[in-house]
Structure 1
C-alpha cells in the first residue's frame, strides 16, 4: 500500500481549470497538445512548479525535469485539454526509472475535472516512486474509485535495474483496467516486467466511467528534494491512445 494517501493529488484550482489555460505554454507531443503547468505552488507535494521544466526535443521526445534554481526546487507537469475515455494508453520511457531517488515521483495518469468528481476519485495511475522509502519496488499501478466512499486499490511492482527503455500500458474499460509493463519499445510484450488485471465486481463504483484529461508529471514527494541533491530529468519517448 502507499504511504502517501493521494500521490497524484494536484492543486484543485489548477486541475479544474481555474487558471487561465489560454495563457499557458503548450507543447505538441506524440500528435497531441499538452498544456504545461505554469509557475506556482501547489499539490502534489506541495511543490513549486515551473513551465521551464517541460519541453519537447528535436526528436519529438518529452522531457520533464525536477531542478533546483536559486535554492528552490521546481517540478514539472503537462496535461491535455482533450479528455480521453475508454481505450488503450501506452507510454514509452527512455529513463531508468528504477534509479529514481526515493523522494522523486513520475506519474502517468488520468485525473478528474471538477465536473467528473472530487479529489481521491476516478484517477487511474502508473507511478514510479518509493514514497520516501530507501528500498522496495518503484512501480505502482493504482485505480481510484468513482464512489468517494470507497478506497483506492493499488499494486506495487519491481523494475529491472538495467532497463533504460521500457513500455507501460493501461487499458481502461467500463468493467476493468489492465496494466502491463515490459522491456523495450517494441509492440510485442514478450519481456514482461509486470501485469495486473483489476476486475472488480462493482465496476461502476470502482472504475471511472467518464473521459478525463491525461497528465504526466515529475515531482518531489511531500515537497522533499532528492536525497542526493541532484537534478532529475525523465524522457518520455512517446504516448499513444487507441480508443476502445
Structure 2
C-alpha cells in the first residue's frame, strides 16, 4: 500500500514531468515495416504480377510505402508512374508487383521521390523511414496454359500483367480458337473485375515478315485496344525489342483507330497513326536490320486486296534478341470498367516468313 501511495504522490507533484517523459518515449518510437505476403521468386518481366502485402508500425499520417522487385537490379513497383502504395488506417498495406528474386518495401515520408531502378536499395535516412527485404517464395508457379493457332504454339496469359500500361487481370478462358481455327480474344467484366486476354508465341522468330489477318476491328469501342507486337521479357530496358500494330482510338471517339509504332512511342518519329475501315484487314510488318516496314490492307493481302496505309521506320529499330510475338485485347486505362459490356476481337491467321540469309 505504501508503494502505491508513493507512486500516487509522484504523479500528484510532477504530473507535467511524467506526461512529457511519456510523450517523449512515444514520439521516439522507431517506424517499422514488414512484408507478410511474399510473391513467387521468378525472373522479372511484365508477363506476370502477383500480390504483395505487409504492415507498418509507428507511421505518421501521409507516410507511404515504396516497393521494389529485384531482377538484376531493383525495379520500382508496380509501375514507374504509380510509385506509391498507400497505408490505410489499419496499417496493413497491399499492392501488386512484377516478379523478381527478392522484394523490398520502404516506408517513406511525404514528398519522397523514388528512383525507377537502383543497383542498391536506399538506406534509412533522407526520407526513408524503414526498409524490409525478403527473398521470393520458393512455391512453384503454375504452368501457364497453351493454345495452338495458325500452326504455332502459344502461351495464354493468366494472372496480372501490365502490358497495357496499367495492371490488368488476364483470364485464360478469354482466349480460344473456334472450329475454323480463328483466334478469339475477349475482355469482360465479371466477379468485380475487368478480365482481358493475351497470347504469346513460345519461340522467337527474329528478322522476317509478320502477317496478321484480322476480322473487322472498326467495331471496337474507343477504349478497347487490340495489339499485335513483339516483346522481349528478358530485355534490360523498358523498350523490350518492341514493334507494334495497335488498333484503338485510345478512349477518344474521334481519334484515328490504328497505329504503327517502334517503341518508345513518344519518340518524334516512332509512331504513325491512320484510319482502318470496317471488314477483314491484313497487317504486315517486315523487320530488317535498321528498318521496319509496315503495311495495312483490306481483305487478306492477296489477289484483290487493296492497300490502306504504309509506313517505314528507319531509326530506333531494335535488333532481334529473345522477343516473341504477342497479341492482346484490353481496356485502355480501365476507362470502360463501369460499363460492364464485353468486347471481342478475332484474328483469322498469323504467318511468318524468315528473312533471307545473307550470303
Which TM-score band applies after superposition, normalised by the shorter structure? 0.7 to 0.9
1:41 deviation in Å? Answer: 5.3
**Which residue is 2:150 aligned to?**
30
Q: Paired residue for 2:48, among 11, 14, 25?
A: 14
**Aligned pairs, number:** 222
Moved beyond 6 Å, runs of 4+: 19-22
- Counterpart-to-counterpart distance in 1, 2:272 and 2:337: 24
Partners of 1:46 and 1:223 within 8 A in 2 = no
Q: Check conservation: 1:141, 1:179, Cα contact below 8 A.
A: yes
Counterpart in 2 of 1:78? 199
Q: Which has the higher contact order (CA 8 A, sep 6+)?
A: 1
Unaligned runs of 5+ in 1: 1-9, 201-205
Residue of 216, 219, 230 corresponding to 2:341? 230
Residue 186 of structure 2 corresponds to 65
Stretches of structure 2 lacking an aligned partner (at least 5 in a row): 1-43, 50-70, 72-97, 101-139
Q: What residue is the counterpart of 1:203 in the other structure?
A: none
Contact 2:212-2:282 at 8 Å conserved across structures: yes
Q: Secondary structure at the match of 1:52?
A: helix
TM-score normalised per structure 2: 0.57
Over 3 Å counting, the alpha-carbon distance change for 1:227 and 1:126 in structure 2 is farther
Indicate conservation of the 8 Å contact 2:47/2:163, yes or no: no
User: Among residues 274, 279, 287, which one is paired with 1:157 in the alignment?
Assistant: 274
The answer to whether the 8 A contact 1:144-1:152 is kept is no
State the SS of the aligned residue for 2:48: helix
Do 1:112 and 1:119's aligned partners in 2 also have CA atoms closer than 8 Å?
no
Taking the aligned partners of 1:21 and 1:181, their CA distance within structure 2 comes to 39
Deviation (angstroms), 1:98: 1.9
Residue 118 (structure 1) aligns with: 237
Match of 2:332 in 1: 221
Which has more radius of gyration? 2
Partner of 2:283: 168
Match of 1:136 in 2: 255
Q: 1:144 touches 1:151 (CA, 8 Å); kept in 2?
A: no
| Counterparts of 2:225 and 2:343, CA distance in 1 | 10
* In structure 2, C-alpha distance between the alignment counterparts of 1:197 and 1:122, rounded to whole Å: 17
Distance in 1 separating the partners of 2:154 and 2:141: 11
Task: Determine if the alignment matches structure 1 residue 40 to structure 2 residue 160.
Answer: yes
* RMSD, matched Cα: 2.6
Distance 1:62 1:38 in 2: 17
Shift of 1:82: 0.1
Alignment of 1:69-108 (within 5 A): 69-94=190-215, 96-108=216-228
State the 1:220 CA deviation.
0.9
Give the conservation status (yes or no) of the 8 Å contact 2:45–2:233.
Answer: no
- Which position in structure 2 is the counterpart of 1:196? 311
Distance in structure 2 (CA, Å) of the matches to 1:168 and 1:14: 28
Q: CA deviation at 1:71?
A: 3.1
